[in-house]
Amino acid sequence: MVKLASARESRTYGPGSRLARTRWEYINAGLYLFATAILVGGFATQISSVSSAGAKSGLVAVLVALALLLAVNAHDLVAHLAAVDYCLSLVEFDVQLALVEFAVPLMNTVGVILTFVGNLFFLIPMEKGYRYRLEKHALNTLIAGPIFWVIGSIHNVCQIYERADGHVQLLQKSVQVPLIMGSLLFLVAGIVNKHDDTLHMLLGRSWIWLCLSGSSLFLVGGLMNTVRVFKMQRTEGLRLEKLRGSAHERLAKVREELPLILESNKKSRKQQEEGRPVSAPTPVPTPYKDALLGSLTRSIV
């Protein structure tokens, strides 16, 4: 349930003007906060419920929250890919681009999918009766999913700051620390639930309590992420991180050459549609070189 908290200047959360992109980034942060609130409510419902119907409704709420978190992490990944025009070759020059901006949303997405499948495998026996094989797979996926979250949260913390001041770094840590602690609690919950010998139902109460604690930390991280996004968008003169190495220059060069390539392709396509032969590029005159080659030819003859 980790969310990418990057201080990169290059991020494109939506098409259109800067105002539209800012609005989409606010939507991303608000949706994550809303999803974590549903997650807390889902686990709280499972604790307070005294019937299977209440536990089932809590599990459905958890599945809805996970689906929203999947959309948020996918949006984070697309936003940072679009910021570099989907030019994956830039990771050769800026390693953090691969290990943080690309890897963290990808790890989170895989973790959310595994956790969603694990909770779904617990919901199916509630509907159709006890199934040992489904329960076994569910217990394993509830461990595998948080493992990806822990790896993603570690990558999320390991960021290098060259331009960002102490205020930006404090905002970053206020999001990253609750998320890594919540991920660890979910991992511990999955391990405890699998090795609980006194387990008399599909989901033990120790698992629910630990997941509720982890979800509360995710809620705190989501709230601080909303504050972070607001500060980064509204504070004037805030220094954010640029692409490092020669990645920034290469991206600028690609963006300069792309319109020329598109215009050339458009002209060639238009000439082909009209049935005219595609004109070859006009050779650049080189009088000094021609004179030199002519004198060399005469001397050989």
Local confidence band at 200 (pLDDT 50, 70, 90 cut-offs): very low
> What is the torsion angle, in degrees rounded to the nearest 10, for the CA atoms of residue 69, residue 101, residue 251 and residue 262?
-30
**Higher local confidence (pLDDT), 214 or 131:** 214
Q: Are 183 and 143 in contact (CB under 8 A)?
A: no
pLDDT one-digit tens code per residue, 63-115: 999 999 999 999 999 988 888 878 888 888 888 888 888 999 999 999 999 99
Cβ-Cβ contacts under 8 Å for 104 (sequence gap 6 or more)? 2, 4, 6, 76, 152, 155, 156
Q: Residue 284: pLDDT above 60?
A: no
Lowest mean pLDDT among 12-21, 59-68, 120-129: 120-129
Q: What is the pLDDT of residue 146?
A: 95
Task: Extract the tokens encoding 184.
Answer: 């660890």
Q: What is the pLDDT of residue 288?
A: 44
Q: Residue 260: pLDDT above 80?
A: no
pLDDT one-digit tens code per residue, 42-53: 999 988 765 667
Mapped to the 3 state alphabet, what secondary structure does the chain carry? CCCCCCCECCCCCCCCCHHHHHHHHHHHHHHHHHHHHHHHHHHHHHHHCCCHHHHHHHHHHHHHHHHHHHHHHHHHHHHHHHHCCCCHHHHHCCHHHHHHHHHHHHHHHHHHHHHHHHHHHHHHHHHHCCCHHHHHHHHHHHHHHHHHHHHHHHHHHCCCCCCCCHHHHHHHHHHHHHHHHHHHHHHHHHHHHHCCCCCCCCCCHHHHHHHHHHHHHHHHHHHHHHHHHHHHHHCCCCCCECCCCCHHHHHHHHHHHHHHHHHHHHHHHHHHHCCCCCCCCCCCCCHHHHHHHHHHHHHHC
Q: How confident is the model over 290-294, as a mean pLDDT?
A: 52
pTM of the shown model: 0.80
Closest by CA to 79, choosing from 38, 27, 146, 157, is 27
Q: What ranges do the domains of the chain cover?
A: 18-240
**What is the average pLDDT value for the chain, to the nearest integer?**
80
**Higher local confidence (pLDDT), 199 or 205:** 205
Distance between CA atoms of 266 and 300, rounded to whole angstroms? Answer: 46
Q: Is the dihedral of CA 135, 147, 74, 31 positive or negative?
A: positive
pLDDT one-digit tens code per residue, 154-186: 999 988 888 888 888 898 999 999 999 999 999
